[in-house]
Amino acid sequence: MRALRVVLDVVRDLVIGDDWRMLVGIAVMLLLIVGGHAAGWPVWWLPPVTVLVMLGVGVSSEPPDVCRRRR
């Protein structure tokens, strides 16, 4: 059972990571792309703009506590 928990923790860290704002940004971008495409709007510009905005958010935010260990 402990091994399963360790594997799930690793998968969660790979998928979500330490910064929940990046996950929210990607989800919002995907929703805007789907909605914009369904409405017939050109959405080709949305991923590069999202990457630039999320890079700015990631750089300007407080760094995660990398010394913290989960138990």
The ranges assigned to domains in the chain are 18-63
- The backbone region for 40, taken as left when phi is positive above 0, alpha when psi lies in -120 to 50, beta otherwise, is left
User: Tens digit of pLDDT per residue, the chain (71 long)?
Assistant: 889 999 888 778 767 666 778 878 888 999 999 999 999 999 999 999 999 998 888 777 766 565 555 55
- Segment holding 52, helix H or strand E: helix 46-60
- The torsion defined by the Cα of 14, 62, 23 and 39, in degrees rounded to 10, comes to -150
Distance, in Å, from the CA atom of 39 to the CA atom of 46, rounded to the nearest integer, reads 15
Tokens of 57: 């958010």
